[in-house]
Amino acid sequence: MTSTDPAAMFREMLGEWEKMANSLGGGVAKSDEFTRFMHGATAAQMNNQEAVNAMMTRALAAANMPSRAEIEDLSARLARMEATLGRIEEKLGGPPERASRPKPSRTRKPPAAKG
């Protein structure tokens, strides 16, 4: 370290630390043990995720609620229905116009009773 600048010394020290960490990490990542460990960890995570999904599906079924797959299926069916309805409206000349209703008057008096 030839500089007296603290920031330059810190950058140099950080660069050296980074080089050591990269060489150590690169050596570990190349080993067969590390590869087997990572494969096992990934497999365990996927098994855990499947178990949680199965448990949630059973819990939702017990509560008489739809599962995620059922909601996605309903959403896709609804999208197809909306597309079909849009095509029908297009063939009929556009969306139907709604009849306008008279709006209630904005007064402090309640509406008069009919009868």
CA distance 14 to 90: 66
**What sign has the CA pseudo-torsion 52, 54, 56, 62?**
negative
User: So what's the pLDDT on residue 93?
Assistant: 84
Q: Which portions of the chain are predicted below pLDDT 70? A: 1-3, 95-96, 99, 114-115
Q: What is the pLDDT of residue 1?
A: 52
Q: Can you tell me the distance from the alpha carbon of 81 to that of 89, in angstroms, rounded to the nearest whole number?
A: 12
> pTM value?
0.45
Q: What's residue 16's pLDDT?
A: 92
pLDDT of residue 75: 96
CA distance 62 to 66: 10
**Structural tokens at position 68:** 């995620």
In the structure encoding, which two tokens stand for residue 7, read together?
A: 């920031």
Q: How far apart are CA 46 and CA 99, in angstroms?
A: 56
Contacting residues for 104 by C-beta, under 8 A, at least 6 apart = 111
- Residue 110: what pLDDT? 76
